[in-house]
Structures are given as structure tokens and as C-alpha cells.
Amino acid sequence: MTGEHFDVLIVGAGLSGIGAACRLRTRCPGASFGVLEARDDLGGTWDMFRYPGVRSDSEMFTLSYSFRPWTHAAAIAGGRTILTYIRDTAKEFGVDRRIRYGHKVRSAAWSSAEARWFLEVETGPEGRQVQLTCGFLIVCGGYYSYEGGYRPEFPGLDRFSGRVVDPQRWTDDVDYVGKRVVVIGSGATAVTIVPALARRAAHVVMLQRSPTYVIERASRDAVADALRAALPERLAFRLARWINIFSGAVFYRFCRRFPRAARWLLLARARDALGAGVDAAKHFTPRYEPWDQRLCQAPDGDLFHALRSGRASIVTDTITTFTETGVTLAGGETVEADVVVAATGLELQPLGGIRLSVDGAATEPGETTAFRGAMLSGVPNLVFVFGYTTAAWTLKADLVSLYACRLINRLKRSGFRQCAPRPSDPSMATRPLVDFSSGAYRRAAAKLPKLGTKGPWASRQSYWRDFLTLRFAPLGSGALRFSNPAPTARRGRGGAGAPQRPSAAR
């Protein structure tokens, strides 16, 4: 049985999904649309992550929406403040009423014959299946699994008598006050949670296998504050946003162009902030170049202060085994713990884990090439959001939403029913969607769409380039084709004979 039909369905009511919904409301006013959200509330990342100190590490002038000024004093904001901002935006644009909570999209099957997507959606606690259809699909399902973080095999873990916590599943009953805490990891989560826990724990050890670049930054933006004092709110926000886009891009380019200088600078700043008591060279000099992995931020140097004060310490070593009371390390040291926080990374997952098929042929995202970093080769009427990893996620997410609106309006105006990108050179070399050397991206490389090496397939982490192409490049020329396929035409990979109402490939 086919259920309701929409012109557009958005998967996910996180930062990206709400942004896309707001854009649809204003740019495609005639389109019927809904937002399908697996969880019981909106906000995605900013609702689910509740560990102490959870915050952005981008400044909020670029992580917020370009169309709704960030007016809070803090440039680096806490998770709850960001959640409130998303919630208020949804309300202000009236898109909160379009969200269907508890709707997890399991599969999406495109039928060329009917020029629509058939979505199998699981709803309610008993997992009732409903089918919804739409002419265009925008997938804003984030980039990681909501089932839990990545946990490597830790020898002897079941022997440990204390509590082991996944920061992705932090609950209020995690009792760390006055306790000895070990945080395993060196990524953004560890860098955030260590100083937050150190305020109330007996002691926190940050236990890392290898170091990460950590840079101190002010939690308030002095330039933005000055602009706000002198100019109307919206104008001040716009200027602050562009200044941050520009300065972020310049810093990134500097690091990539002059890695040795960048490395020296980052280490010198860490050394200054840590003082003589902490070996900065040992614990803050990674084996890779700056921006081979995401740079971690320490707002107002909070991590460095925690280490300098002695409330926290840092150990760079490998775990040999857990014991009943802590961990022993390859270097022979033992670290005692009451609570262990496994900040060992996310389990990456593209496109909300949705099984995709086109005319009955299963489509693995990892076997497709991303067009303008927003569509999948051979997949019609689908745009996916995967934000920047070297700048604020929302900068790209918003451009992709605007691009989706352009496509939807073009389809409507032209009378074509579908548009899909297809590489003209099937032998084009590919490279990873995200060129980071971190474990999470290496583990997930096969699952993620690839980038091409030419033209619109070779999307780079460049806001300026994307701004021009996603907003202004002509649609329907080159690799992106608008068409009205014959009802019996077979699209996508695989043989002949499209089903009329496909059930998604299982």
C-alpha cells in the first residue's frame, strides 16, 4: 500500500535538515514537503550528545544559518544553546510542524516509471512499516551512526569493575564527581570532555595512543563583538560571518601550504599554554601534518589550563590490558580508574544508513561518485548533505540545500521529471570523499561516496568554489541531465526491466 505523497521529503531534523526545510519554505513555496526524523526530538547531534562540556568547535558565526543571525555572546557555544537555536529557527520558519518524529527511513527506492521515491519507513515503538513517496529526496541524516560510537577491542575490559561510558550515550546518572576518571582518546570529544570533567572529578587522565593538534582560541569573538556594538544585528552578523569564513580559509590554506611552519606555530602555542610541567613535544606533536585530521580547539585554553593545574594529566601510550581497577600500558605504567570514558570516535555512516535502489538495482553509496559533493552518480532526484570537515559543516549544508531548491524549481518549471548526474568518463579516477587520515574515515572509506578528479566531480573543501557553483553554475548542462525517461526504461546499474512500484533492495 502506498501512503502519502510529497513533492519533497527531507530525512533528518538535525542542523542540516532544519536548515533545508527553512530553505524549502522560502525558496520553493509551492512544494509540499515533510521532514522524517527517527528520534523523538529535533536537533540531531546537539540533542543526542549530552556529555559534560559538549560544545561546538567551530565558531557559531559559520556553524549557524546564514539566514538567521547568531546573537549569543559566545562564539564557541554549548550543545544546549545550539539546540535552542535550532529549535527556535524551526519554530520561526514554521517547519517544526512539518516534522514527523519516530519515523526512521529504512530504504528508498527510485522508480523511473513513476518518477518518484518509495520510502519504507519504520514508525513507533513497535516498528510499524509505512510507505511514503516523494518526487525529490533530501538526505540530511548526518554522517555517523546513532546506535553508538566506535569501540576498539580492549583486552580484559570485562574484568574492569568500574563504569565504562560511551560519550554518545552519556546520561545524568554517570557519577564522576570526586572519582578517578580516564578518558581514552585524543579527538574533539576527549579534548572537550577532559577539562569539563576535571572541574569536579578527583583527577582526569587523558589517555591517548597518539597526539592530536590542539589550538587555543577565544570563546568570544572580539571582532564580532565590536561589529555588534557598532552596527545593526543582521549586518554585524553578516560581516562577522564573512570574516570568519575568510580567516578560517586562510588559516587552513596556510597550514596546508606551509605544514612545517604551521606545526611549529601550533606546538609553540601549546608549549606556552602548558608551561614547563607538561611535555608538550611528547603529547601535542602528532605524526601527521596539520589538517591531515581535524584540528581540535581548546576554548580559552581550557584543556591546557586543566593540565597545567594538575586537575588533569595526559598520557601517550597504548593499552595492554584492562585490570579490575584500571588499565596497564605498554610502557609499564598502570592508571587507576573508577570511570572510563571511551572517547574512541564515531562509527561513520553515510546517508542515514538508508538502503538505496534505483529501478530495482541496489545502489551502494560507496560505489557512487559524488557530483558537486551533493548528488550521487546515477541516482535521480536525490541530494545529500555532507558538510565541510575543514570548516563549519553548515556552510556546505546550506549551499547544498539551496542547490536542492534550484533543482526542484527547475524540474517544476521545465516539466522534466528527473535529473541525475552521470560521469561522461567512466574511467575517471576517484579519491576519498574526506581526505583525512583519522581512523574513523579510514574505516568508513569504502562506505562513503567517492570524489572524482575532474570538474564538478572533484569537489574540494572550498566554500568560495562551492558558493559559485552550487548557487550559480548552470543546471542541466554537462554531467547533470534532466529527462523524462520512458516508463519502461531501466536506469541505474544492473540489467533490464524496472518494477513499477519497487520494494527496496534488501
Q: Which residues bind ligand FAD (CB under 6 A)?
A: 11-17, 36-39, 44-45, 49, 54, 56-58, 63, 104-105, 140-142, 146, 352-354, 385, 387, 392-393, 397
Q: Which is nearer to ligand FAD, 58 or 418 (CB)?
A: 58
Q: Say how many C-beta atoms besides its own lie within 10 A of residue 148's C-beta.
A: 13
CB of 11 to ligand FAD, least distance (A): 5
SS percent in the chain: helix, strand, coil, step 5: 35, 25, 45
CB of 213 to ligand FAD, least distance (A): 16
CB of 170 to ligand FAD, least distance (A): 11
The residue among 142, 140, 184 whose CA lies nearest residue 45 is 142
DSSP structural state of residue 445 = T
CB of 350 to ligand FAD, least distance (A): 10
Give the CA distances from residue 99 to residues 29, 89, 351, in Å, rounded to whole numbers and listed in that order: 17, 13, 18
Q: Which is nearer to ligand FAD, 16 or 212 (CB)?
A: 16
Q: Which is nearer to ligand FAD, 110 or 393 (CB)?
A: 393
Q: Which is nearer to ligand FAD, 19 or 162 (CB)?
A: 19
CB of 244 to ligand FAD, least distance (A): 12
CB of 135 to ligand FAD, least distance (A): 18
Name 134's Cβ contacts closer than 8 Å, sequence gap at least 6.
5, 6, 7, 8, 9, 33, 116, 117, 119
CB of 137 to ligand FAD, least distance (A): 11
CB of 15 to ligand FAD, least distance (A): 4
Q: Which is nearer to ligand FAD, 83 or 327 (CB)?
A: 83
Give the CA distances from residue 244 to residues 217, 248, 328, 395, 453, in Å, rounded to whole numbers and listed in that order: 13, 6, 44, 11, 29
Identify whether the C-beta of residue 237 lies closer than 8 Å to the C-beta of residue 69.
Answer: yes
Q: Which is nearer to ligand FAD, 162 or 387 (CB)?
A: 387
CB of 61 to ligand FAD, least distance (A): 12
The residue among 87, 80, 85, 38 whose CA lies nearest residue 63 is 85
Query: Which residue shows C-alpha cell 538508508?
Result: 354
- Residue 89 dihedral angles phi and psi, to the nearest 5°: -65, -45
Q: Which is nearer to ligand FAD, 17 or 456 (CB)?
A: 17
C-alpha–C-alpha distance, residues 16 and 190, integer Å: 25
3-state secondary structure of 33: strand
Length of the chain in terms of residues written:
506
Name 478's Cβ contacts closer than 8 Å, sequence gap at least 6.
424, 455, 456
Q: Which is nearer to ligand FAD, 314 or 356 (CB)?
A: 356
Longest dimension (CA), the chain: 73
Which is it for the CA torsion 89, 94, 96, 100, positive or negative?
negative
Q: Which is nearer to ligand FAD, 140 or 215 (CB)?
A: 140
